Structure 1
Amino acid sequence: MALLEAIGEAGSITAAAKRIGLSYKAAWDAVDAMNNLAGEPLVLRSTGGQRGGGAQLTARAVELLQVYQALNAEHQRFLAALAQAGRDPTHHLKLIQQMMIQTSARNKLAATVSRVVQGAVNDEVVLDLGAGQEITAIITRESARNLGLAPGKQALAFIKASSVMVGLPDSDGARLKLSARNQLPGHVSEVVAGAVNCEVRIELPQERSLAAIITMESAKALKLKKGTAVLAVFKASSVLLGVMD
């Protein structure tokens, strides 16, 4: 919404990006995403000309901004009223937002960024799940910057069930010797059998859970059943990250 408003005022995506502190590429990607979500253009772009091209909002975008501004004003009044009553709803509102997100990824975990290790192209983002458990995600450096990832930032981790492998820990519960960075210990809560594949639901500490899709043959070879101690294994590159602002 801030980008749309800035484009409407500046008449340029580049100028709007600078105004709100976005990179040139992030702003153009955001415009493409908004146009795709709307199913029609919200921003019309032109190239060439005396001004070297520009951008303008469509009627739909102007109406969208007006609705957002009205909703935001009501939202701020609502929060102010709660604050006067001595109630802080921030923590609960974040949870409601997280619960409303719908994705095709079966596994969604709320976490806190504990550290970010920067690389030339990709960044390594380590997330704290609580109860002494961490997971690692590898995303592009630009994505980490656009998401504002830094220690203490709240984030959501998404992992497809087909990306989760199931392993049996050693007798002492040690991690497996694999290149996969993420190995979360837990136990099988349910095995839902299918004709070829099955869904293995793994219970983690703090009442969290992960779903894994593996072949029936693998489930039988591992002798998986309710209560079996397992490791949920997935690569750092299989973890997608999102934030709620």
Structure 2
Amino acid sequence: MPGMRKDVFSIEALGHEPADKRMDILRLIGSTGSISEAARQAGVSYKAAWQAVHTLTNLAGVALVDRAVGGAGGGGAKLTAAGEQLLDAARQMDAARRDVLARFSGGAAQALPGAGLRTSMRNNLPCRVMQLTMSTPGDPMVRVVLALPPSVQITSSITRESAELLGLQPGLAVLALCKATAVRIMAGAAPAREHVNLIAGKVTRLSRGSVRDEVVMSLPGELQLVGFSDHPSRLRAGSAVTASVEENAVVLARV
């Protein structure tokens, strides 16, 4: 990757271990010397493998892969010194993580895998993948149907490459994330709209504003969702409300 340093990586790149296949792809590039072979062994497309490399490189702030293009040998790829160091750090972090999780089981310890996420998104909802619907061959998007305990369903729209790198499949535990500003909360029920999630609940807490009112609503299963309603509103604690969230505003993360 021209113009990038090749010695010291940023620790931010370790945020993807062991959440998805990005680090696995980096390992496979190191062992096979080929991005296409790494993609094949990881079970993802060549495009998804390159997305993994670009994402990790951006997070690391240094070049992780050197690629030789063309030539008699057909080209290849190898890890830089920083790439090797990143994998070593990831191995040590994964071993330490497994050691900590092994000391605890059940109860609040179940929150540990997702507790390390640092994000501006205030809505972090544990759920499971129910179904993946592939669009037409020319469409790069995948619709992921998610089950929130005990009986709420929402849908996320993500790229095929992201679905591959996350290794999404029915039954997989994930986190559904969305910004509070992407959640519009209205009194009562709301008419169905294409590609929009409608989630029913009750107001738990209300903070009045001059333009918008911030609303914390409770969902079945003791989950909470934060969003905004137009000001002024007649909402009160206990009011029945519906949250409206577009599918493309729901981000998925592995736990």
The two structures have a TM-score, normalised by structure 2, of: 0.79
CA distance in 2, matches of 1:141, 1:72: 27
Q: Map 1:66-145; keep pairs closer than 5 Å.
A: 66-73=88-95, 78=99, 89=105, 95-120=111-136, 121=139, 122-145=141-164
Structure 1 residue 210 displacement after superposition: 1.0
CA distance in 2, matches of 1:20, 1:117: 21
Is 1:234 matched with 2:245?
yes
Q: Is the 8 A contact 1:119 1:141 kept in 2?
A: no
Is 1:196 matched with 2:208?
no
CA distance in 2, matches of 1:92, 1:201: 22
Q: Is the 8 A contact 2:209 2:231 kept in 1?
A: no
Structure 1 residue 94 displacement after superposition: 5.4
CA distance in 2, matches of 1:23, 1:223: 51
CA distance in 2, matches of 1:113, 1:18: 24
Q: Is the 8 A contact 2:51 2:161 kept in 1?
A: no
Q: Map 1:3-82; keep pairs closer than 5 Å.
A: 3-73=25-95, 78=99
CA distance in 2, matches of 1:136, 1:42: 34
Cα distance change, pair 90–22 in 1 and its aligned pair in 2 (3 A): farther
Is 1:219 matched with 2:231?
yes
Structure 1 residue 92 displacement after superposition: 6.5
CA RMSD in angstroms, aligned pairs only:
2.6
CA distance in 1, matches of 2:57, 2:114: 24
Structure 1 residue 91 displacement after superposition: 8.4
Structure 1 residue 55 displacement after superposition: 1.8
Q: Map 1:160-175; keep pairs closer than 5 Å.
A: 160-170=179-189, 175=190
Output one character per residue of 1:110-130: Cα deviation in whole Å (capped at 9) or x when no partner: 101122222223332211112
Structure 1 residue 231 displacement after superposition: 0.7
Percent identity between the two aligned chains: 37
Q: Is the 8 A contact 1:5 1:65 kept in 2?
A: yes
Structure 1 residue 74 displacement after superposition: 5.6
CA distance in 2, matches of 1:160, 1:151: 25
CA distance in 2, matches of 1:14, 1:90: 40
Structure 1 residue 79 displacement after superposition: 8.2
Cα distance change, pair 74–190 in 1 and its aligned pair in 2 (3 A): closer
Structure 1: tracts of 5 or more residues without a match: none
Residues paired across the two proteins, number = 230
Cα distance change, pair 79–19 in 1 and its aligned pair in 2 (3 A): same
Output one character per residue of 1:5-40: Cα deviation in whole Å (capped at 9) or x when no partner: 221222221222223322101111111111111111
Q: Secondary structure at the match of 1:4?
A: helix
Structure 1 residue 139 displacement after superposition: 2.3
- 1:131 partner amino acid: P
Cα distance change, pair 21–231 in 1 and its aligned pair in 2 (3 A): same
Structure 2: tracts of 5 or more residues without a match: 1-22
